[in-house]
Amino acid sequence: MNFTRLATSGLILTLCLAVQVRASEAEHGVTDINKLSNEEISKRLENPLTNLWSITFQENYASFEGDAVNGDRTVNTAFFQPALPVPIGEDFDKIFIARPVIPWVKRPDFKPDANGGTSGDVSGLGDIQMVALFGPNRVDGVVWGAGATFKFPTAEDDQLGAEKWQAGPAAMLFRFTSRWTLGFLAQHWNSFAGDGDRNSTSQTDIQYVIRRSLGGGWSLGMGPTISIDWEADSDNRYTVPVGIGLTKTFRWGKTPIKARIEPQWTVLNPDDFGEQWNIRIQVAPVIQSPFREGLGRR
């Protein structure tokens, strides 16, 4: 599967969902997302347990260096991330979401070439992740969520994935005010099956978010992800980035779209092959949820 096929699949899925939602609107008269301001939509999308439906396309362009390569090498990762939360409970006061993250990866090829060295790149579908979270349906104050997270051995090349089935716990805690979004989403995976010739995995990712609303759908802040590889030695265990990015939520016709660009710098990285910096670009169209209830409690 290449990126063109991945993007086409995502577009088809988005169009199918839009058709289903419009039919549901006609039948049930659900609340129109266009009644929410750009500022409100921007704030709600910061919440991993948001009640809004969205389709996120994300591009990460990163520079790596280390003992395993000569000079700087780049890694390009494109993500497709549909988020389709479902309100549940007698009065729709809870939210459940199972959010897949589908990556397409281009990275250096470490397999020896005809001359015994390494050159060129390898690209294709990576290991698909999915996080499932459950928590209160809120848009202000303290919001928590808990659940499970998974990684599936879907990579098209053995250098693009771990070739292991992985699972573990996930948890989030956020604080939303009129101007600030502060919080984190933590996930941990341990391998439990897969290719017996590959090493076992034990990895923790912690995304921390610090953002301030500037009004008018604009916000400034960061949301990097700290990664810890517990199976690696101490020199290759930690990846700790910081960053600063600008976000704008606007309308394209009647469709709300959240766009973000966020450069990040890594202050602690693996010695063998570690990220030095990356630029993250996100575009997230928002589509109407078919659930007329569950608009979020304040």
Chain segment 202-225, per-residue pLDDT in tens: 999 999 999 999 998 999 999 999
Domain residue limits, the chain: 3-287
pLDDT tens across 37-93, in order? 899 999 999 999 998 999 999 999 999 998 877 778 899 999 999 999 998 887 788
Q: Tokens at residue 275, please?
A: 């990220």
Cα 191 to Cα 27, 95, 164, 203, 253: the distances in Å are 45, 28, 6, 9, 45
Nearest CA-CA partner of 243 in 218, 229, 228, 226: 226
Q: Which CATH superfamily is domain 3-287 in?
A: monomeric porin ompg (2.40.160.40)
pLDDT digits (tens, 9 = 90+) for 140-157: 899 999 999 999 999 999
Question: What does pTM read for this prediction?
Answer: 0.85
**Inter-residue long-range contacts of 264-270, CB under 8 Å, 24+ positions, other chains counted:** 264/222, 264/224, 265/241, 266/239, 266/240, 266/241, 267/240, 267/241, 267/242, 268/238, 268/239, 268/240, 269/66, 269/238, 269/239, 269/240, 270/66, 270/229, 270/232, 270/235, 270/236, 270/237, 270/238, 270/239
pLDDT of 23 over the 50 cut? no
Q: What is the pLDDT of residues 113-136, one digit of tens each?
A: 655 555 678 999 999 999 999 999
State the sign of the Cα–Cα–Cα–Cα dihedral 149, 84, 297, 291: negative
